[in-house]
Amino acid sequence: MKHLAPDYVYTPAGLQRNTCIAISDDGIIDSIFDLETHAIAPTNVDALPGIALLPGFVNVHSHVFQRALRGHTHRPLSSKDTFWTWRNAMYAEAQRLTPETLYTLAQKTYQEMLAAGYSSVGEFHYVHHQPGGQPYAEPNAMSEAILEAGREAGIRVVLLMTAYAQAGFQQAPEEGQRRFCDDSVEAYLARVEALRSKGVPVGVAPHSIRAVPEHWFRAVADYSRTYHLPLHVHADEQIAEIEQCQAVYGCTPIELLERFGALGPGTTIIHATHANDTEIGLLAQHRSTVCVCPTTEGDLGDGIAPYAELLAANIPLCIGSDSNTRLDPIEELRWAEYSARMRYQRRRVLVADEMGSPGPLLLDYGTQSGARALGLQTGVIAPGLPADFIGVDVNHPAMAGWYSDDFLDVLFFGASSEVITQTWVGGRKVSGK
Amino acid sequence: MKHLAPDYVYTPAGLQRNTCIAISDDGIIDSIFDLETHAIAPTNVDALPGIALLPGFVNVHSHVFQRALRGHTHRPLSSKDTFWTWRNAMYAEAQRLTPETLYTLAQKTYQEMLAAGYSSVGEFHYVHHQPGGQPYAEPNAMSEAILEAGREAGIRVVLLMTAYAQAGFQQAPEEGQRRFCDDSVEAYLARVEALRSKGVPVGVAPHSIRAVPEHWFRAVADYSRTYHLPLHVHADEQIAEIEQCQAVYGCTPIELLERFGALGPGTTIIHATHANDTEIGLLAQHRSTVCVCPTTEGDLGDGIAPYAELLAANIPLCIGSDSNTRLDPIEELRWAEYSARMRYQRRRVLVADEMGSPGPLLLDYGTQSGARALGLQTGVIAPGLPADFIGVDVNHPAMAGWYSDDFLDVLFFGASSEVITQTWVGGRKVSGK
């Protein structure tokens, strides 16, 4: 058993002083108690002066290799760049990866995520095979590279194994997409099963309604229900996808996902930027989650998600760093709220707008809600849960002026991940001073 | 003469290696030369290993005292908070200020600005008098407090002296606005003149078409033309202002500013969030500038400025931190671009969108363009200009992967002011290690 005694601990009851966290040898929070009233003074207490411990952030949606593109796609690739021209640059980067380079890139990027305050990551992993599409001798060689990088960096990884079959509705994969594809949904599920049966935290991730046909969706959704695995899928990021879906199926992407049996409480829709009221109604009915990725959605010019309508329908929201162009959970959450304020031209959208309402906090979207989307028991500092924390420097100049009632507001509106000076995963300090 | 030899220097020709900057004793850049080919090795060279020196950022629009509100206005102040309910909290804060508390707050906030990479600030200063509206014994006591704080912190301050006369169109000032108001435009101009004649860098700032009547606007604009002073004015931040203006004058705020003779090449419109095509045409015709304040405009739910139309009309854009809720020029510029990308749903709006076009850079909006709006000769690293620099840690993990052609893109899309480890003003290192 070890004991941490930071100046403050943020628990579901708010910011606490004089609080000690006892952590068992397997990295689980054993108890949280008041140092002043505790009968027996614990031995072996690690004081953390000037630090407030908060739950670590959960990064629900990452394509780790895209970190290599940071800053390299902002000059014109063609006249009038869009999401689709950016995608060509991303495919070129994906073509170059080997298990070795992926490992190195992922290990460094996960270190950067930890330093930014993410203690868990959902890795939406789609570069599975050799560049021409042939499987590696070890079919999960690329997945294993990511898992090894995660272990080495110390971050909690949920591997969201991407299913990919085609370039578009009934179109064979393009050259740059071949290494994303399995030959059949059975081959894909065999790879998932190999990892799952080894105890690797996995989810399934049919890439999108463009890339995955109906019978794959049905088989993958069945598998996820059988084993209670998260199912993540991109939808409604770009208008062109919606138009194509309407042309081929006469419905919107989320309506199609429902037809295919892919909506449920374990489903997380990535983006939902252009979801309409019918689609939002379906997500509510099936108790599905939406993951927004504000820095990436800004970078790619996707648009602003219908935050007010999603929240009015009680749809849980969480965040992802997606392209990893920018790693900062505080900036993601601030700009989710600010984008929503700009869309609706009022001051409070994601956070409580009723006087006296406890309401959700930006922190909750970035922690608890994300943990739920990844099927993780984390995101709150409470006994029985993993000791996944960030340490905030309460004396940083950006934080000056906080008091205990609005500590989180000063953090989310006035600061950035630069005030996060340490990150703990499973009771172990994996980043920081 | 002193010499700085950082690893890199960003000049109008791009990122340079092996470059030395000679700085005269009065803080002006004397020369910039290649260390390897220079005939005589300079003595007294201060090496800056791992640092790239860039021009310091120019913060065109600050209300320094509003830093005290950081994080304190995000809980419901009333049902359905807006810009207008937020303004009540701001007025309450303004009521509490004394010259002494303003000095202390400004001094700390300017230090924070310097640490974030701003080397110059335009202080849009409107809390001039005692709470009831009576002048202080020294009529510019509050202005002097700000100037003294700027000198103490080491930041370059341009004092944008705000003219304020009324609550709205032909309405007497509200209680909370009395200390912003002068009794007459002559009394206001006498205070400006007192500072100007002492050599203080000043501009004039009729607050808005709401707060300043026609004859004040005309007198202030005349004064600014006579002495070649910048004229800054808030306009088109909120729809309600435009509706009131239409109701009273039958035109939009920027049309009214033109009628009042307040548009010209020295004019900077703050916000212009809801400017229409006619207004943008007028700004272009008069060669006026627009200052956007993305973090504040997000916070207050103002909306997204018509960036594409402003740029198509060749209107110079610059940035301001406005409420000082967040101090980070890189975030301001990134989210100016990202907000624009979301508005127009394409990938490149503020930066060049033509292949092979040199085009503007986000850096230029944050430096040169801002300097022009404040009437300052700074914003570029070139001989004859003040030695106002930021030092970027080129080895910071957020910067990993840059090469010299896209150094600025990695900085603006992947990093934040945390990578700025030093700030120089007039040849003196005023912040950092």
pLDDT digits (tens, 9 = 90+) for A155-170: 999 999 999 999 988 8
Domain match, A143 and A291 both: yes
Task: With cut-offs at 50, 70 and 90, classify the pLDDT of residue A16.
Answer: very high
Domain match, A281 and A409 both: no
Q: For position A78, what pLDDT does the model report?
A: 64
From chain A, the residues in CB contact with B416 under 8 A are: 326, 328, 331, 416-418
Do residue B398 and residue A72 have CB atoms under 8 angstroms apart? no
Return the exposure string of A165-192: e unless at least 16 CB atoms fall within 10 Å of the residue's CB, then b.
bbbbeeeebeebbbbbbbeebeebbebb
Q: Round the average pLDDT of chain A to a whole number and report it.
A: 95
From chain A, the residues in CB contact with B307 under 8 A are: none
Check which CATH number belongs to the domain holding B423 and give it.
2.30.40.10
pLDDT higher than 80, residue A358: no
Domain match, A161 and A237 both: yes
Q: For position A109, what pLDDT does the model report?
A: 98
pLDDT higher than 70, residue A27: yes
Residues of A marked as catalytic? 271, 322
Domain match, A365 and A384 both: no
What residue ranges of chain B have pLDDT lower than 70?
77-79, 355-358
| Alpha carbons A101 and A109: distance in angstroms, whole number | 12
From chain A, the residues in CB contact with B413 under 8 A are: 70-71, 74, 299, 325-326
Q: For position B78, what pLDDT does the model report?
A: 64
Q: For position B75, what pLDDT does the model report?
A: 76
Question: For residue range A47-75, what is the model confidence (pLDDT) as tens digits?
Answer: 999 999 999 999 999 999 999 999 988 87
Nearest CA in chain B to A407: B71
Q: For position A353, what pLDDT does the model report?
A: 72
Do residue A325 and residue B414 have CB atoms under 8 angstroms apart? yes
Do residue B347 and residue A81 have CB atoms under 8 angstroms apart? yes
Task: With cut-offs at 50, 70 and 90, classify the pLDDT of residue A144.
Answer: very high
Nearest CA in chain A to B237: A345
Domain match, A136 and A210 both: yes
Smallest Cβ distance to B298: which of A86, A297, A338?
Answer: A338
Complex ipTM value: 0.96
Instruction: Give me the residues of B, 14-73, that contact A with CB < 8 A.
Output: 67-68, 70-72
Single out the residue in B336, B357, B373 at which a domain terminates.
B373
Sign, Cα dihedral of B31, B36, B37, B40: positive
Question: For residue range B308-338, what is the model confidence (pLDDT) as tens digits?
Answer: 999 999 999 999 999 999 999 999 999 999 9
Query: Structural domain tally of chain B?
Result: 2
Question: How far away is chain B from the Cα of A111, in angstroms, using its nearest Cα?
Answer: 9
Task: With cut-offs at 50, 70 and 90, classify the pLDDT of residue A273.
Answer: very high
Q: For position B81, what pLDDT does the model report?
A: 74
Percent of chain A with pLDDT over 70: 98
Domain match, A61 and A47 both: no
**Which of B342, B348, B394, B405 to mutate: most A Cβ within 10 Å?**
B342
Domain match, A428 and A282 both: no
Domain match, B49 and B68 both: no
Instruction: Give me the residues of A, 284-303, that contact B with CB < 8 A.
Output: 295, 297-303
Q: For position A49, what pLDDT does the model report?
A: 96
Q: Is B302 a catalytic residue?
A: no
pLDDT higher than 80, residue A356: no
Task: With cut-offs at 50, 70 and 90, classify the pLDDT of residue A37.
Answer: confident
Check which CATH number belongs to the domain holding B331 and give it.
3.20.20.140
Q: Which residues contact A315 (CB under 8 A, 6 or more apart)?
A: A280, A283, A284, A288, A289, A290
Q: Tell me the C-alpha to C-alpha distance, in Å, between residue A390 and each of A114, A326, A379, B21, B92.
A: 9, 18, 11, 41, 35
Q: For position A77, what pLDDT does the model report?
A: 65
Instruction: Give me the residues of B, 231-250, that contact A with CB < 8 A.
Output: 239
pLDDT higher than 90, residue A33: yes
Question: For residue range A228-253, what is the model confidence (pLDDT) as tens digits?
Answer: 999 999 999 999 999 999 999 999 99
Q: For position A417, what pLDDT does the model report?
A: 97
Question: How far away is chain B from the Cα of A80, in angstroms, using its nearest Cα?
Answer: 6
Single out the residue in B373, B404, B423 at which a domain terminates.
B373
Q: Which residues contact B39 (CB under 8 A, 6 or more apart)?
A: none
Domain match, B68 and B102 both: yes
Domain match, B393 and B411 both: yes
Smallest Cβ distance to B348: which of A76, A357, A410?
Answer: A76
| Alpha carbons B129 and B139: distance in angstroms, whole number | 7
Nearest CA in chain B to A341: B301
Domain span at B281: 57-373
Q: For position B352, what pLDDT does the model report?
A: 77
Nearest CA in chain B to A412: B71
**Which of B345, B363, B420 to mutate: most A Cβ within 10 Å?**
B345
Give me A238's structure tokens. Answer: 């770009």
From chain B, the residues in CB contact with A398 under 8 A are: 112, 327
Q: For position B82, what pLDDT does the model report?
A: 82
Mean pLDDT, rounded, for A251-257:
98
Q: For position B400, what pLDDT does the model report?
A: 97
Domain match, A109 and A151 both: yes
Domain match, B223 and B170 both: yes
Supply the pTM of this predicted model: 0.97
Single out the residue in B373, B389, B418 at which a domain terminates.
B373
From chain A, the residues in CB contact with B115 under 8 A are: 397
Instruction: Give me the residues of A, 76-105, that contact B with CB < 8 A.
Output: 76, 78-83, 85-86
